[in-house]
Chains A and B, each alone.
Chain A
Amino acid sequence: MSDFWHMGGYAFYVWTSYGICFVVLLMEIIKSLLLQKKIVRELALKRQRQQQVKPS
């Protein structure tokens, strides 16, 4: 198992590569999810405001 993590002496290069790749791709997904939440929240607020206006 430690052989696996050692990567024949190239551990730094191999694992940094995989780490950066993982982080970048994960950020892409998280960014989309956060933006979606924000949009839904804002639209819900907008609809609330519109409904408050109507009855008067």
Chain B
Amino acid sequence: MLPWLTALFMVLLVYGLYGGLVLAPADYQQGDSFRIIYIHVPSAWMSLFVYMVMAISGAIGLVWHIKLAEIVSISSAGIGAAFTFIALVTGSLWGKPMWGTWWVWDARLTSELILLFLYMGVIGLYGAIEDKRTAARAVAILALVGVVNIPIIHYSVEWWNTLHQGATVAKFDKPSMHPDMLIPLLVMAMAFKVFYAIALLMRCRNEVLQREQNNRWVDEILEKL
């Protein structure tokens, strides 16, 4: 399945980048700097999406003791942290020319930073506990507590005054963006989602191999490699 996903990812990436960097016209207020949106917004969306996957699969592992759910949960943490990091850094690089500052301690930025710390807490906690099944349970509880941060991030631009602009795409009336700009953004969001699937599969494969290394079927897989 990985080769297919990789091919799909490349097609979406090339199409999204071409549409975003070449075809889309410059923004009338922000000029060409708005093009950062094509990686900033998808990675920010993914930082929330991956967190929900991590928390939900963590909960499933917690309740039904399904090993695969635990593995999906912990494998998501590193990927989610990477997306959150990208969202913060590109946001900063966008903020400097547009707001005149790299960083402000407002609701949106601070809650996204807390999300990064949550991911790092999950990774650290998982690494700190020797028994992997106990670790997975502890991590799932931490992840579930952190879910409270997700709606805060999403609604932070409405609840508090902030430099960050309000929602442009995810709102109930139609998105306030021209299709020439919007379509590449959605394509890039798809590309990032497929990337998550690829990275998740690779991480899960490693985690399963490590956990089940004494099983016979692992030997059979190794013979094929």
Contacts and interface: CB of A to CB of B under 8 A. Distances in A.
Interface of A: 4, 7-10, 13-14, 16-18, 20-21, 24-25, 28-29, 32-33, 35-36, 39-40, 43-44, 46-47
A14 B213 contact: no
Given A29-B198, A39-B213, A43-B218, 7 more contacts: A4-B21, A7-B35, A10-B31, A21-B86, A24-B82, A46-B213, A47-B219
B154 interface: no
Chain A binding surface SS class:
helix
Nearest to A23: B86
Given A8-B32, A8-B33, A40 B39 contact: no
Contacts of B93: 13, 16-17, 20
A33 B202 contact: yes
B124 interface: no
Contacts of A16: 93
Given A13-B97, A20-B86, A8 B199 contact: no
A39 B33 contact: no
Interface of B: 21-22, 26, 31-33, 35-36, 39-40, 43, 78-79, 82, 85-86, 89-90, 93-94, 96-97, 195, 198-199, 202-203, 205-206, 209-210, 213, 218-219, 222, 225
Contacts of A7: 32-33, 35
A24 B39 CA distance: 12
Given A7-B33, A17-B40, A32 B90 contact: no
